[in-house]
């Protein structure tokens, strides 16, 4: 069934919305066999339509004049009730033509997608603009067309031709796909299996189109390839493996070369001696491998990252130590770093020992050396408010039982250290956050590059949700929401070295973008799969949530993915009860 719209002023097959061909095809309609073709339509500036004639193509073809008798038209159309419904939808918005359901569209590649009427946040820190139509062809952004809102309302704006998939973003925000600078794809926790799809689909449902996979197993290389080919529903992956350690500088160089030969994108570095770090960092530069450093309590600290050219410092270990006069925290005599209760208890008392003036010298040196900072504020949040972390409402539908068990305090599980955790510990950690956040704001003010990552799968943080909480904490620290979004898009792209391809909504860039039901600049909570709640006429109404996560030009319907995750969780819980 075709709806042919004729603009009488132009007397051609181009309607006043600027379609090159004024034909809207209802591919899925059951009425396609009726042979009814609605022709000649006048589109008034008010947005109302007047039908001038209907022609029924059949062996008994005849023309119904409607100019004098609209009731006759109504009678004919009511005989085709489904046709009436489709006609009304198409008349209200000529771009809303019948297409597959959102769930059927999700996860498949289309040659041409048009996102219409969006308010766009670019990802470079500049204010939102709109309305705009965004044209995607294959995996790239082809056009971004600014629209006159008055002309859009009047129905006279010239707009790009329709796509294979049309996404109505009127009244919605479009932002770049989020980049998670500190992700872990887990197939299990604490020796108990867990579906890898649980992580991957949660990330996409939470708007994360790219993951920097740190401390990755070798099989992550396969996941990266499968994601590139769209064989699995998963974000794009940059795979960094753990440096395995070395007993000599030459062995360190050899192991870096082996990492490159295996196809990894970078190295995750933990505590390391200075001579080994010097060799591996030099070889990593020669091999074109980026390095993310979780410094830990070791011989090296941020001054070594500055000297050797680390790409990014993860969390914050090593930064305050570099600003302590003797380079070492004032640990009690019975402190044991291997005891995670000790380790995390006294980590909460570290920032208070950093000298602010010394810290500014550290920051200036980091900035001059191009060392970025990925703070992962979210992953330590339970340390300042354990009860809040343990009672997250999203756990009801989204917490996998394997992850739930791993979170229970247990010395055998990394990050499950809340044994004898006290209000004093929380008070110190609250102070720790205040100083840490103040330092982050000052680092960026001085010209530093701040990223955003989650480190989920530990310490009460779920995949995807962790990064979204990270954004809220950046706002709490004092960053404007525009800069918060930039941290997780444009800045993270720079940390990955791909700022010329992803991280922004820009012509020629990869088509990684989110269509959001709500304004994330006003409320970052609209990004969560759980959405938000508002009061309408005295009733609680669910709203918000990401509607579409478009990764590499492929549209993933976020509510469908979220539903699939809930089903994975429900199935795992049923299996557990059956044991």
pTM: 0.84
Report the SS3 class of residue 210: strand
How far apart (Å, rounded) are the C-alpha atoms in residues 349 and 522?
33
Cα angle for residues 527, 134, 546 (degrees, 5° grid): 15
Q: Positive or negative, the Cα torsion across 511, 517, 522, 527?
A: negative
Q: Could you give the 3-state DSSP secondary structure of residue 36?
A: strand
pLDDT, one tens digit per residue, over 403-456 is: 999 999 999 999 999 999 999 999 999 999 999 999 999 999 999 999 999 999
pLDDT at 39: 36
> Which of 362, 211, 217, 355 has its CA nearest to residue 301?
362
Which residues fall within 8 angstroms of residue 435, CB to CB, at 6 or more apart?
Answer: 351, 352, 354
| Nearest by Cα to 349 from 335, 365, 338, 363 | 335
Residues in the chain: 579
Computed over every residue of the chain, the mean pLDDT equals: 86
Residue 116 to residues 122, 133, 167, 298, 472, Cα–Cα distance (Å): 16, 4, 6, 53, 28
The pLDDT value given to residue 540: 87
Residue 47 token pair: 């947005």
In this predicted structure, the answer to whether residue 113 has a pLDDT above a threshold of 80 is yes
Rg of the chain over CA atoms, in angstroms? Answer: 28
Q: Which two tokens stand for residue 31?
A: 């009425």
**Using 50, 70 and 90 to split pLDDT, how confident is the model at 542?**
confident
Q: What residues contact residue 225 under an 8 Å CB cut-off, 6+ apart?
A: none
Angle at 9 between CA 8 and CA 15, to 5 degrees: 65
138: helix, coil or strand?
A: coil
Q: List the structure tokens of 343.
A: 């380790």
Q: What is the DSSP letter of 501?
A: T
Contacts of 326 (CB under 8 A, 6+ apart): none
Q: What is the pLDDT of residues 1-19, one digit of tens each?
A: 333 333 333 333 333 333 3
Residue 355: the pLDDT is: 97
pLDDT at 95: 52
Query: What per-residue confidence (pLDDT) applies to 311?
Result: 98
Is a pLDDT exceeding 50 seen at residue 110? yes
Of the candidate ranges 55-69, 184-198, 207-221, 301-315, the one whose mean pLDDT is the lowest: 55-69
Of 197, 163, 205, 148, nearest to 180 by C-alpha is 205
Least reliable range by pLDDT among 31-35, 80-84, 119-123 = 31-35
User: Kindly report the CA angle at 375 between 373 and 376, in degrees rounded to 5?
Assistant: 140
pLDDT value for 543: 84
Each residue's pLDDT tens digit, 211-265: 999 999 999 999 999 999 999 999 999 999 999 999 999 999 999 999 999 999 9
* Domains of the chain by start residue, with CATH: 2-92 (no CATH), 104-170 (2.30.40.10), 178-508 (3.20.20.140)
Crossing angle (nearest 10°) for helices 70-78 and 81-92? 120
> Taking the CB of residue 294, how many other CB atoms lie within 10 A of it?
20
Work out the number of other CB atoms within 10 angstroms of the CB of residue 76: 16
Q: Six-digit token pair at 415? A: 């990050």
Helix residue ranges per DSSP H, 50-137: 70-78, 81-92, 102-105
pLDDT at 98: 56
pLDDT of residue 79 exceeding 70, the answer is no
């Amino acid at each position: 069934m075709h709806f042919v719209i004729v603009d009488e002023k132009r007397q051609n097959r181009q309607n006043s919305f600027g379609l090159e061909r004024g034909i809207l095809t209802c591919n899925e309609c059951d009425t396609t066999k009726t042979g009814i073709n609605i022709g000649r339509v006048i589109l008034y500036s008010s947005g109302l339509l007047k039908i001038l004639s209907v022609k029924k193509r059949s062996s008994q073809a005849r023309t119904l004049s409607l100019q004098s008798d609209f009731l006759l038209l109504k009678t004919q159309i009511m005989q085709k009730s489904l046709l009436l419904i489709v006609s009304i939808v198409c008349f209200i918005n000529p771009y809303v033509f019948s297409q597959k359901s959102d769930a059927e569209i999700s996860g498949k590649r289309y040659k041409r997608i048009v996102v219409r009427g969006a308010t766009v946040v670019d990802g470079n820190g500049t204010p939102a603009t709109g309305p705009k139509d965004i044209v995607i062809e294959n995996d790239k952004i082809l056009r971004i067309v600014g629209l006159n809102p008055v002309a859009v309302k009047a129905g006279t704006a010239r707009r790009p031709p329709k796509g294979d998939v049309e996404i109505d973003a009127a009244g919605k925000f479009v932002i770049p796909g989020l980049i998670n600078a500190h992700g872990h794809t887990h197939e299990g926790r604490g020796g108990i299996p867990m579906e890898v799809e649980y992580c991957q689909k949660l990330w996409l449902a939470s708007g994360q189109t790219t993951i920097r996979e740190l401390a990755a197993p070798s099989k992550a290389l396969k996941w990266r390839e499968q994601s590139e080919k769209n064989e699995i529903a998963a974000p794009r992956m940059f795979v960094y493996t753990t440096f395995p350690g070395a007993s000599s500088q030459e062995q360190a160089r050899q192991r870096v070369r082996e990492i490159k030969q295996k196809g990894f994108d970078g190295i995750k570095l933990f505590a390391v001696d200075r001579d080994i770090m010097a060799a591996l960092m030099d070889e990593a530069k020669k091999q074109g491998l980026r390095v993310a450093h979780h410094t830990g309590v070791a011989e090296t600290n941020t001054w070594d990252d500055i000297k050797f050219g680390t790409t990014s410092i993860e969390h914050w270990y090593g930064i305050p130590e570099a600003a302590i006069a003797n380079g070492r925290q004032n640990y009690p005599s019975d402190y044991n770093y291997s005891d995670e209760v000790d380790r995390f208890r006294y980590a909460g008392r570290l920032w208070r020992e950093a000298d602010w003036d010394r810290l500014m010298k550290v920051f200036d040196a980091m900035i001059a050396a191009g060392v970025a900072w990925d703070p992962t504020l979210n992953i330590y949040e339970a340390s300042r408010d354990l009860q809040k972390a343990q009672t997250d409402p999203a756990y009801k539908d989204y917490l996998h039982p394997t992850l739930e068990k791993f979170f229970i305090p247990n010395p055998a599980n990394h990050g499950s250290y809340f044994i004898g955790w006290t209000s004093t510990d929380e008070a110190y950690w609250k102070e720790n956050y205040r100083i840490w956040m103040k330092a982050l704001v000052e680092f960026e003010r001085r010209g530093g590059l701040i990223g955003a990552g989650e480190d989920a799968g530990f310490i009460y943080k779920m995949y995807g949700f962790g990064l979204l909480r990270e954004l809220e904490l950046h706002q709490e620290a004092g960053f404007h929401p525009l800069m918060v979004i930039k941290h997780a898009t444009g800045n993270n792209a720079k940390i990955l070295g791909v700022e010329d391809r992803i991280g922004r909504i820009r012509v020629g860039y990869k088509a990684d973008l989110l269509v959001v039901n709500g304004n994330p600049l006003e409320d970052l909570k609209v990004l969560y799969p759980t959405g938000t709640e508002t009061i309408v006429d005295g009733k609680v109404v669910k709203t918000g949530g990401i509607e579409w996560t478009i990764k590499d030009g492929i549209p993933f319907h976020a509510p469908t993915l979220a539903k699939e995750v809930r089903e994975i969780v429900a199935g795992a819980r049923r299996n557990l009860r059956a044991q």
